[in-house]
Amino acid sequence: MFKKFSVVLVLLVVVAMVLSACQAPAATPAAEETTAPATEAATTAVDNTTPVTLRFTVWTGNEKHLAMLKEIADAYTALHPNVTVQYDTIDFDDYVSKVTIQLAGGTPPDAGWLMETAAPSFVDAGVLADLKPTLDAYTDYDFADLSQPALQLWQSGEGLYGVPFSNSPIFVVYNSDLFAKAGVATPDEMIKNNEWTWENLAKAAKDITDKGPAGSYGFVGFDAAMFTTQPWSTLVPAIWAYGGNTWSADGSTCEINQAAAVQAVTLFHDMTFKDKSITPPGDKTVFAGGTVGMTLAQLSRLTQLKDAGFKFGIAPLPAGPSGNQAVIGQAAIVVFDKSPNKAIAEDFVAFMTTKENFAKMAAFFPPTRISVLDSGILATNNPDLDPAQVELAVTNSIKNGTVLPSHVNFAKIDLAMRAEFDKLWTADADIQTILDAACADAAPYFK
């Protein structure tokens, strides 16, 4: 798995260089001749005349997600009969590389999704369109209703280069049935007693493994992975709770080898090899199978539990020595600057992110609009969840959380560190030495 992912990351490093080459140079007469027809077409298309197909890239293959997106697209087409929106699905692991290759090859999508880790490099490369003028001019858009902290990653100067549609906190999902069978207090009960900590999560995981049905495990990492396909989503919540970080806020210094981060990673290592409460390396057991007590997840990923056959609940991330630290995975809607239908794409993104359409997307993706978030729609749209748990684990975390770490050189840092993270999956791993090596390997990209 790691070798396969490394190939993808090598490609990311290569295409990251291409992104810089894609940055628009100063205007020339030839460039003006090339862009003029697109601008003219955009103006007439918004007036419902010239037929246009907008190509919008996403990474979801979920039928319910796509049906919701199609509903929004159909409503836009009803207003602009000449415009058809085509959603192109790209696998998540390949998403950034394939979009970047399209940009470099002169066949850019018009608009699409973009994850938080890619934001700094795409903004820095100048390949995203500034959406602020369009949003400011859009009738009844109410820009002030967008959560301003949620926009920070997508801002540069006065420009806004993406509108987050998903501010999705990472939370703990737990199998209530396994907790009951093992006689262990649930996260809900621990929260009431002010005992919901990472250390107590580890103890509960061990008890479920030892006292639960044969073949049970206490915990599995985000997307059933720990340090392989989703290391940051699993490690960062604990690292931040312990008072550590992956790198400094200004992106100049590696910090994942400092004491607090080492302590957090050691917690997971001990759970895996001492307590044996985490699914072992290479094991493909997933939470939805019903034999795991806890995992980390986000709201959009709970659709897989619809027919799970067991009771489950959600809880905010546990506290650590630095208290409760809410962690948010974010994705935004962007327009690519070289889109042949740029003005129409910007108009569609404005339409897509109105209050009405954010309410539709909130069925799966925690919204950026404060009015939608405060309406209680997340609980309404997720009737299988306890509304009080939704308030604690999702709504409050959105208001108080911090987006996962990102960096203009994220792809290169990620690739360098993954080679070391793989070594953590041995019983006798020297965690300090491994994380020191991770910082050393990634050092050139922090400068």
Q: Are 348 and 135 in contact (CB under 8 A)?
A: no
The Cα–Cα gap between 61 and 392 comes to: 29
The reported pTM is 0.79
- The full length of the chain comes to 447
Mean predicted confidence (pLDDT) in 275-283:
91
Tokens of 447: 């400068």
* H or E element in which residue 381 lies: helix 377-381
| pLDDT at position 253 over 90 | yes
The Cα–Cα gap between 181 and 292 comes to: 12
The Cα–Cα gap between 290 and 286 comes to: 8
Helix (H, G, I), strand (E, B) or coil at 312: strand
Tokens of 403: 């987006």
| pLDDT at position 411 over 90 | no
Tokens of 356: 């009405």
The Cα–Cα gap between 372 and 431 comes to: 43
Helix (H, G, I), strand (E, B) or coil at 384: coil
The Cα–Cα gap between 35 and 28 comes to: 11
- Alpha helices for 23-104 (secondary structure H): 29-46, 63-79, 95-104
CB atoms near residue 354 (< 10 Å):
18
| pLDDT at position 419 over 80 | yes
CB atoms near residue 363 (< 10 Å):
17
Q: What is the pLDDT of residue 304?
A: 81
| pLDDT at position 52 over 70 | yes
| pLDDT at position 442 over 70 | yes
To the nearest whole number, what is the mean pLDDT of the chain?
Answer: 87
Mean predicted confidence (pLDDT) in 102-129:
94
Q: What is the torsional sign of CA 325, 329, 332, 337?
A: positive
| pLDDT at position 29 over 80 | no
- If one compares 129 and 391, the residue with the highest pLDDT of the two is 129
Mean predicted confidence (pLDDT) in 142-148:
92
Q: What is the pLDDT of residue 225?
A: 62
Determine the residue type at 142. Answer: D
Q: Please write the tens of the pLDDT for every residue from 180-229.
A: 999 999 999 999 999 999 999 999 999 999 999 999 999 998 866 655 66
pLDDT-derived band at 281, boundaries 50, 70, 90:
confident
The Cα–Cα gap between 345 and 358 comes to: 17
Helix (H, G, I), strand (E, B) or coil at 28: coil
Q: What is the pLDDT of residue 305?
A: 86
Q: Please write the tens of the pLDDT for every residue from 58-76.
A: 998 889 899 999 999 999 9
157: exposed, middle or buried (Cβ count in 10 Å: 0-12, 13-18, 19+): exposed
Nearest CA to 169 out of 1, 383, 381, 324 is that of 324
